[in-house]
Amino acid sequence: MARFSIIVTSASLDSQGCYSAYRFTQTAITNGHQISGVFFYQSGVNIANTFQTMLSDELALYPKWVDLANEHKIPLQVCVTAANRRGIISEQDAIQNDTPELFNLKPPFQSVGIGELVSMLNESDRSIQF
């Protein structure tokens, strides 16, 4: 059994990558592997936006990640700099902006620095990027 780091750098609507990452993560868990964490970088951070609203017959990937993370206690780590550049703001960012209600990044997604990616890579056996 191995420990995986999953890195997502593609936006969910501009590539199939974010969905493939979800399926890979789900399958790795089912097959007894551990997930050190999922790190969202570049436009991959877009999936963390709570305001996303898909039409009812379209794939809604956000709740799938949320359910997977909650069920299996997987850290969903979103790079704060990449997220802020793309208008994804955590509660802590919102408090610093003096608009404490205005945020669109919520747990289980966490706003983190790149140091968390390094920790994740150091404690895993293999990383894979989508």
Partner 1 sequence: MILHKLSHSPYSQKNFVSLLTRITDKDGILLTQDATYALSSTEYCQLLLKQTVNVYALEPDTIARGIQPVMSEIQLVDYAEFVTLALKYNNVISW
Partner 2 sequence: MKSLAIINQQGPLHSNAGQESVDLVLAAASFGQDVSVFFIDDGVFQLLKMQKPDVLEHKHFAKSFGAFEFYDVENIYVCQRSLTLRNIESNQLNVACQILSDTELNAKLANAHNIITLS
Strands (E), 10-125: 34-40, 76-79, 109-112
Considering CB under 8 A, how many residues would be counted as binding its own copies?
A: 24
Can you tell me whether residue 90 is helix, strand or coil? strand
DSSP state for residue 104 in the 8-state scheme:
-
70: contact with its own copies by CB under 8 A: no
Fill in the per-residue mask, 39 to 78: x = in contact with partner 2 (CB under 8 A), - = not in contact.
--xx--------------xxx-------------------
Q: How far is the CB of 91 from its own copies (least distance, A)?
A: 12
- First-residue to last-residue Cα distance in the chain: 21
DSSP state for residue 44 in the 8-state scheme:
G
Which of 44, 126, 33, 121 shows the shortest CA–CA distance to 81?
Answer: 44
Are the beta carbons of 14 and 44 closer than 8 angstroms? no
Marked catalytic residue, from 79, 83, 105, 120: 79
Residues 15-44 interacting with partner 2 (rule: CB under 8 A): 15-16, 19, 23, 41-42
Q: For residue 128, report the phi and psi dihedrals to the nearest 5 degrees.
A: -145, 135
List of residues contacting partner 1 (CB under 8 A): 2, 4, 15-17, 20, 23-24, 26-28, 30-31, 33, 125-130
Q: Which stretches of the chain bind partner 2, using CB under 8 A? A: 5, 7, 9, 13-16, 19, 23, 41-42, 57-59, 81-82, 85, 113-115, 117-119, 121-122, 127, 129
